[in-house]
Amino acid sequence: MLRTPLPRWLLAAAVVTVLVMALPLVGLAVRIPWADVPTLLSSEAARDAMTLSLRTCALSTVLCILLGTLWRCCSRAATAPSPRSPAR
């Protein structure tokens, strides 16, 4: 089975997207004082920020699961076939 090659514009868009995502991370990695990372991550402010981030992530995950389940149940109930009355 032969695969058709991807269009060049798609490759260009993918390269631009990777650069847009990677360049800020590279800039942060270059500027960070790597010798101070353990001290910075163990500071009170960093612990507070990580706790807030984990709580927010957990809450959004729970909400997505609950709302997604609720939506799925409601959409199934709306599309379920109605029971027919018996023929006389």
Within a domain: residue 52?
yes
Within a domain: residue 19?
no
* Domain interval for residue 58: 46-72
Helix (H) or strand (E) holding 44: helix 44-79
Nearest-angstrom CA–CA distance, 9 and 7 = 5
pLDDT category at 70 given cuts 50, 70, 90 is: confident
Ramachandran angles phi, psi of 86, nearest 5°: -65, 145
pTM for this prediction: 0.53
Q: How many structural domains comprise the chain?
A: 1
Nearest-angstrom CA–CA distance, 68 and 32 = 39
Within a domain: residue 13?
no
Q: Within 13 Å of residue 72, how many CA atoms lie on the same side as its CB?
A: 6
What are the pLDDT digits (tens) for 6-65? 889 999 999 999 999 999 999 999 999 999 999 999 999 999 999 999 999 999 999 999
